[in-house]
Amino acid sequence: MITQIIPPLVLISNIVFVLVVLALVFKVPSITSWIGKHSVVLGLLVVLASIIGSLYYSLGLGYEPCELCWWQRILLYPQLILFLTALKHKDGGVFRYSWRLTALAAAVSLYQIYAQSGGKSLLACTSAGGACLKVYVHAFGYITIPVMSLTVCAYLLLLAYISKKHD
């Protein structure tokens, strides 16, 4: 049941992401100011949703995380502590630290998307029959687990950008 809910939620979040980018481009201060003011809480919610989602897929459904999935987790999971600490201390500067982890996680997810889409394998785990090529979720013609990870990264990077502009 939840597996049927997550991909539509990702699709809706992708649409919201585009709308927020458009609000930035067309300088809609009411939206970007609100996001900037609440960027730490929003970052915490994004990270928390990604952790719950990834744990649901692996522990709840038994989808074995591949090597690249583990790297994405290693880069995203510690951000929960960063954002909780930032929230406790009212420190909007958390994005100065988190963006580096997020950018690395985005690079890993981009590579995994590339490999799953038939791109040239650079690692053993993405070679023919490799665990990192296994597609557990494929919805709306593009939403896979690495796309979900990239969506999280895109949101965190966008929040970092808006937070910096808001300061």
How high is the pLDDT of residue 117? Answer: 93
Q: Report the distance separating Cα 136 and Cα 126, nearest Å.
A: 15
The per-residue DSSP string of the chain comes to -HHHHHHHHHHHHHHHHHHHHHHHHTT-HHHHHHHHHTHHHHHHHHHHHHHHHHHIIIIIS-PPP-HHHHHHHHHHTTHHHHHHHHHHTT-GGGHHHHHHHHHHHHHHHHHHHHHHTTPPP-SGGGSTT-GGG--S--BTTTB-HHHHHHHHHHHHHHHHHHHHHH-
92 in Cβ contact with 167 (< 8 Å): yes
Give the pLDDT score at 3: 83
- Kindly list the domain boundaries of the chain, sorted by start residue: 38-166
What's the confidence (pLDDT) of residue 77?
Answer: 98
According to the model, what pLDDT value does residue 128 have?
A: 74
| Residue-by-residue pLDDT tens, the chain, 167 positions | 778 899 999 999 999 999 999 999 999 999 999 999 999 999 999 999 999 999 999 999 999 999 999 999 999 999 999 999 999 999 999 999 999 999 999 999 999 999 999 988 888 888 777 888 999 999 999 999 999 999 999 999 999 999 998 86
